[in-house]
Amino acid sequence: FTGSAFGSAAIWQYESLKSRVQTYFEEARADWLDKIRPQKRGDFRKQVNSWWNSLTEGQRTVTGIIAANVFVFCLWRLPGMRRIMFTYFTSDPSSRALCSPMLLSTFSHFSLFHMAANMYVLWSFSSSIVSLLGCEQFVAVYLSAGVISTFVSYVAKMATGRFEPSLGA
């Protein structure tokens, strides 16, 4: 999984760079259109765009991860989703589904305090780590760390004979 994550991140990084270069040249040619193009309206939209543009690349990257974690947290609160959540969003070495929960449990938090603390820490170091690695490599590290930590949890559970489900990275 880790090799695939970093391989995909390298391809993603290459495609992002290629897209930025193409966009730069297209914008240089299309500057004259901005003068005749009507401006979009909406104060809320302008506020969201202003907020989004004020974020660093790291904070923008982590915003998606935080949104995924909040979405999964909300799914845990829906009674009809409990069975699916226990099957795919908790890690348990005795479960029928072993591989997908290794990744999906990374986004699972049952306690609001636990999720808030984890997301705060993620947000606080996101700018520096993404500027060091790039957003693509950071996502690969995040996902790989979640899968590896779940694997270590599987090994520890097998060694101790405790097979209760757990969640989180």
- Apex 39 CA angle, 61 and 24, nearest 5: 50
Show Cβ contacts of residue 102 under 8 Å, excluding neighbours closer than 6 positions.
1, 91, 146, 147, 150, 151, 154
Q: What is the pLDDT of residues 111-163, one digit of tens each?
A: 899 889 989 998 998 888 888 888 889 999 999 998 898 888 888 888 888 87
pLDDT over threshold 70, residue 35: no
Q: What is the pLDDT of residues 55-100, one digit of tens each?
A: 888 888 899 999 999 999 999 999 999 888 888 888 887 777 778 8
Q: What does the alpha-carbon distance between residue 141 and residue 9 come to, in Å, rounded to a whole number?
A: 10
pTM of the model: 0.75
pLDDT over threshold 60, residue 33: no
